[in-house]
Structure 1
């Protein structure tokens, strides 16, 4: 072989070899991310989710890809969106935004691992066999909003002990609304208060619901734990201020936005755990071996500026117990 030909062969090999190595590298695993909310609403939660993934060595775009599907409050779209992700197929399916999203994910696949977030008891919802031993292909974390419903009612009673009629805003498209309504009614009965349920499935119906509360002369309002309501944080806080109705919400972000008081789970922490679970499954763990987690604590946040605007005197014991007070 002539020197020139040998040199050409070596140079050619130098070009071909890296391409061959790249072709042999395994493709990055893909996570399906199904949410009943929107990318804008879930922005801070996505940051926490990515942090949980990164703790297991998975950085989006480097070690893993993520396919996002957003229902944007249209719960009837969730089954089709879940089916799209399963058909790709994804290595792990994450469902967020309540029991309605988790049920859509479960109905779409019995084999792909699913990590969910849900508001209530996932055993009662038929998602898992037990919290300690989920069984099947699902695990995740519950925000325990339904279980905390009675405590939210008690907090509102502490705030307004003379209130007799309490409005309860629900989204009838969410199956969890029934169980939460039942819990609220029982707690209200114990406290000698009457519950008036009003419903809303879209922005216009929210305004109608607040008009209804005014007609009912409701003394206060509880907002049900629903992903759609969180997506309408600013509208709900503004409507409550306009109607001058003291309102207790289920997430801190409402109080940060000007709502009177909130009591609920730390959502960024929940999503960090979801990211961790997704990472563990990508590393080989099976959902049935990962117990469903519950929040270690609930956050109480009080907005004293809003209380002042409403002319409310907050009992000193509540700010003393609060995790955060907005002044």
Structure 2
């Protein structure tokens, strides 16, 4: 895949590409921010996250094209792109970098130990070794976490609650795009024996791997699927929801849209990512004004919600117990 080397200046309505020559005419006093985004620049949701970040900066007095220059790269859940763009952004000598998701933060972290970095949508940064502690991050990283690894136990228990005869659970993840997957797997594997459930890793590294993996696993009775947070899976979540429906495979995901697209359940953080990007602007502002990342505590997002698609449950022949549906924040019928 060829690298896109365009530089972006972002307006309130979204990400608009400006010619490189115009960007080169920024005043000397302009500060520079590098942004490594998850997903693709063609996805409206991801563009809205970036717009929220820029809007937050504007509300704090930073104007793109005047006091601020923003260089944006999109990794699209691809580890090779994330690594290449991390090096490219560091080479632009930014004053601070915004890194979205664990994959992008991992690559940025490998590329620099000195440039200040603010992260968003990262699972348990202490457990993953990005920061020393929540209150005192130390080093050059701080930001906003999104998931706790203990979610792994909730997913498997929810599946067992709606499928008492559950025997096998596959956990789909892209090992290249999801460095945090091993932590979720560890939690799930600890809980599974007490429930009489076998855990099966389902690594997928490319779009073409998804359907064959699901088709092979779905052929056995009493099977279910877990989809942990993974930028690659998120990029294809609509397709995955369609496929688990086609292969009649009960599944639970970590993002709300999985259940809304037709998956059986979704349980995860209900914080809007746009809000985290907007909050990240306050940390970037403070760093540009002289604060150190080590002085800014990591902020967590601990609001979780359950969505159950009863229409999908009916199609799968699953009767969701009232004690489970009663816990749901949203029920799709």
Normalising by the smaller structure, the TM-score range is 0.7 to 0.9
Which has the larger share of strand?
2
Could you report, residue by residue, the CA deviation over 1:108-155 in whole angstroms, capped at 9, with x for unpaired residues?
222221011354322232211111100111001222242321122222
Is 1:292 aligned to residue 298 of structure 2?
A: yes
**1:167 counterpart residue number:** 170
Q: SS at 1:263's partner residue?
A: strand
**2:331 counterpart residue number:** 325
Where in structure 2 are the equivalents of 1:276-315 lying within 5 Å?
A: 276-315=282-321
**1:177 counterpart residue number:** 181
Where in structure 2 are the equivalents of 1:29-44 lying within 5 Å?
A: 29-41=31-43, 42-44=46-48
1:142 to 140, 145, 156: 145
Say if 2:165 and 2:222, in contact at 8 Å, map to a contact too: no
Distance, in Å, in 2 between the alignment partners of 1:142 and 1:312 is 34
Tell me by how many angstroms 1:225 deviates.
1.4
Q: SS at 1:141's partner residue?
A: strand
Tell me by how many angstroms 1:271 deviates.
2.7
Q: Runs (4+) of structure 1 moved beyond 6 Å?
A: none
Residue 186 to residue 207, structure 1, CA distance change in 2 (3 Å): same
Say if 1:198 and 1:212, in contact at 8 Å, map to a contact too: no
Q: Which moved more, 1:125-134 or 1:295-304?
A: 295-304
**1:268 counterpart residue number:** 274
Could you tell me the TM-score, scaled by structure 1's length? 0.85
Is 1:190 aligned to residue 186 of structure 2?
A: no
What is the total number of aligned residue pairs between the two structures? 304
**1:4 counterpart residue number:** none
Distance, in Å, in 1 between the alignment partners of 2:242 and 2:26 is 57
Tell me by how many angstroms 1:234 deviates.
1.4
Where in structure 2 are the equivalents of 1:16-27 lying within 5 Å?
A: 27=29
Q: SS at 1:143's partner residue?
A: strand
Distance, in Å, in 2 between the alignment partners of 1:290 and 1:325 is 38
**1:19 counterpart residue number:** none
1:212 to 212, 216, 239: 216
Is 1:239 aligned to residue 229 of structure 2?
A: no
Where in structure 2 are the equivalents of 1:76-87 lying within 5 Å?
A: 76-87=80-91
Cα RMSD between the aligned structures? 2.3
Could you tell me the TM-score, scaled by structure 2's length? 0.83
**Unaligned runs of at least 5 residues, structure 1:** 1-22
Say if 1:120 and 1:147, in contact at 8 Å, map to a contact too: no
Distance, in Å, in 2 between the alignment partners of 1:49 and 1:256 is 26
Tell me by how many angstroms 1:39 deviates.
1.9
Q: SS at 1:239's partner residue?
A: helix
Residue 24 to residue 131, structure 1, CA distance change in 2 (3 Å): closer
Say if 2:145 and 2:301, in contact at 8 Å, map to a contact too: yes
Q: SS at 1:321's partner residue?
A: coil
Say if 2:173 and 2:202, in contact at 8 Å, map to a contact too: yes
Distance, in Å, in 2 between the alignment partners of 1:58 and 1:191 is 53
Distance, in Å, in 1 between the alignment partners of 2:89 and 2:26 is 26
Residue 113 to residue 262, structure 1, CA distance change in 2 (3 Å): same
Residue 271 to residue 149, structure 1, CA distance change in 2 (3 Å): farther
Which has the larger share of helix?
1
| Structure index of larger Rg | 1
**Unaligned runs of at least 5 residues, structure 2:** 1-24
Distance, in Å, in 1 between the alignment partners of 2:251 and 2:198 is 16
